[in-house]
């Protein structure tokens, strides 16, 4: 299957689609996992912070209006009391009660505020590093000067059913940010490794999926080749029989032509020749598709080949009243190939150009040298090809003008054969045409190293 260009490209496209779809699914799954983990972390932090805040709230609220008890509580919690606003800007303390110790190394802080929102006591962090926030919001996420985020909860303190102050408890989210950053890095590092693994599996699965199709294709291809090969034997025998009949009965016949045996044999021979040519074309295309054409490649001079072709086809141009000319580079251009196939390739283009050109028109064959390619152009001033037909003229049995093709004996395989030969030589063929102004067929063939 790898030797067939069509199936190789189809398998590649199928594997690419598999990998793209699986990559999107894995990416969406990874994004979902990230959000679920981040949400679970935040939920855990919120519950822990709320638990610490509630414990401190129940401890502090009864003694807030009793200065002696407040000072004693401050010693137990290692709180620094603020006599003035300036004191609170320089105080640092650490919550050392059992609740804070349970938090381990997490950076907690606590603030006691009066009814107007001014600090009474601090523990854990400078006001310079993390300024005060509004006490009216329950949950907040302030940020210090170094860019570290904190999560903070504010609870009101009541005395005789009136708000007498506020307690703010917060903690650093640095550990959460580190965990999430590590999770993001892990997911990002896994992405290319996963995509490589998915790509390999997709290529293997695409090969498995295409095996039945490829077997059917090979059977059809083999049938075409076998049928064409089998047709050649009876056609050759028919041709020999007709020749023998000619020799037996002679060429004389009645003027009605078809009424005489000789006239009938002439028709049979002409149709036999056409059928033989068609079968030969089909066999050549089948072998080129299967890459089973066993020919010897040797150095071929394109200059001499084109000169011989122009000379041989000059009679056809004269009959059609078309001027056939050639313009070649003075440098000899050589390609590695088979002269018979190259002859077929270029002659098909020239014959088509002559047949498509009206009386008095011109057909010119150009040979130029590219950087690594030989450029062969067959240019005519004929009827041209409509844009809607240009993408299909290389299809087998496709004819733009069926009436003209039948008159000239064409079967619609000439350009298909030319394209197949060009591809077999790792070259290309394309057309530029404008209806009513003519066409130019360009063939690129790699030069011999």
> What are the residues facing 155 on neighbouring strands?
167
pLDDT at 100: 43
SS3 for 361?
Answer: coil
Query: In 3D, which of 248, 93, 151, 5 has the Cα closest to residue 112?
Result: 93
> What are the residues facing 367 on neighbouring strands?
328, 376
pLDDT at 291: 64
Q: What is the DSSP string of 277-346?
A: HHHHHHHHHHHHHHT------EEEEHHHHHHHHHHHTHHHHHHTT-EEEEEE-SS--EEEE-HHHHHHHH
pLDDT at 365: 92
> What are the residues facing 113 on neighbouring strands?
119, 166
pLDDT at 102: 41
- CA angle 298-303-309, nearest 5°? 95
pLDDT at 294: 59
pTM for the predicted model, two decimal places: 0.50
Q: CA distances (Å), 32 to each of 27, 36, 126, 184, 293, in order?
A: 9, 6, 38, 12, 56
The answer to whether the beta carbons of residues 417 and 285 sit under 8 Å apart is yes
pLDDT at 443: 92
pLDDT at 407: 47
pLDDT at 272: 75
SS3 for 28?
Answer: helix
pLDDT at 103: 44
- CA angle 414-418-419, nearest 5°? 120
The pLDDT profile of the chain, 449 residues, written as one tens digit per residue, is 766 777 888 888 888 999 899 889 988 998 999 999 999 988 988 888 888 888 888 877 776 656 555 566 666 555 555 644 444 544 444 344 434 444 445 677 888 888 888 887 777 776 767 778 888 888 888 888 888 888 899 998 887 778 888 888 888 888 888 888 898 898 888 888 888 898 899 888 888 888 888 888 777 777 677 667 667 777 777 777 777 777 776 654 444 444 466 666 676 777 777 777 777 777 777 777 666 555 677 888 999 999 999 999 999 999 989 999 999 988 899 998 888 889 989 998 999 899 888 898 999 999 999 888 999 999 999 888 888 788 778 877 766 665 554 445 456 778 888 888 888 888 899 989 888 888 999 999 999 87
């Amino acid at each position: 299957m790898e030797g067939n260009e069509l199936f190789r490209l189809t398998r590649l496209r199928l594997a690419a689609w598999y990998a793209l779809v699986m990559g999107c699914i894995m990416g969406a799954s990874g994004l979902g996992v990230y959000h679920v983990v981040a949400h679970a972390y935040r939920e855990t932090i919120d519950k822990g912070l709320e638990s610490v805040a509630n414990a401190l709230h129940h401890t502090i609220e009864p003694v807030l209006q009793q200065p002696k008890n407040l000072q004693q509580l401050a010693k137990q919690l290692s709180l620094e009391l603020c006599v003035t606003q300036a004191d609170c800007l320089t105080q640092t303390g650490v919550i050392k009660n059992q609740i804070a110790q349970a938090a381990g190394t997490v950076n907690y802080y606590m603030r006691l505020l009066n009814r107007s929102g001014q600090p009474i006591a601090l523990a854990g962090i400078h006001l310079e590093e993390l300024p005060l926030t509004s006490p009216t919001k329950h949950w907040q996420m302030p940020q210090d000067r170094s860019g570290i985020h904190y999560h903070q909860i504010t609870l009101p303190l009541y005395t005789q059913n009136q708000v007498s102050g506020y307690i703010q408890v917060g903690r650093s989210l640095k550990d959460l940010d580190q965990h999430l950053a590590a999770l993001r890095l892990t997911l990002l590092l896994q992405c290319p490794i996963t995509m490589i693994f998915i790509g390999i599996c997709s290529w293997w699965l695409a090969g498995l999926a295409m095996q039945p199709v490829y077997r059917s294709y090979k059977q059809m291809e083999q049938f075409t080749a076998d049928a064409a090969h089998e047709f050649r034997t009876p056609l050759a025998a028919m041709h020999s029989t007709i020749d023998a009949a000619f020799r037996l009965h002679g060429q004389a016949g009645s003027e009605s032509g078809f009424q005489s045996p000789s006239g009938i044999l002439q028709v049979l021979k002409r149709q036999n020749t056409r059928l033989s040519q068609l079968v030969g074309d089909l066999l050549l295309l089948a072998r080129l598709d299967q890459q089973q054409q066993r020919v010897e490649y040797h150095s071929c001079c394109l200059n001499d080949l084109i000169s011989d072709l122009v000379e041989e086809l000059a009679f056809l141009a004269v009959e059609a009243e078309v001027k056939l000319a050639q313009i070649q580079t003075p440098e000899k251009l050589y390609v590695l190939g088979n002269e018979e196939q190259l002859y077929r390739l270029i002659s098909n283009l020239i014959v088509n150009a002559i047949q498509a050109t009206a009386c008095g028109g011109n057909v010119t064959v150009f040979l130029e040298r590219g950087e690594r390619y030989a450029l062969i152009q067959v240019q005519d001033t004929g009827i041209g090809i409509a844009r809607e037909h240009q993408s299909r003229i290389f299809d087998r049995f496709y004819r733009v003008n069926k009436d003209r093709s039948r008159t000239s004996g064409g079967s619609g395989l000439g350009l298909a054969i030319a394209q197949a030969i060009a591809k077999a030589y790792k070259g290309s063929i394309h057309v530029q045409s404008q209806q009513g102004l003519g066409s130019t067929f360009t063939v690129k063939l790699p030069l011999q190293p």
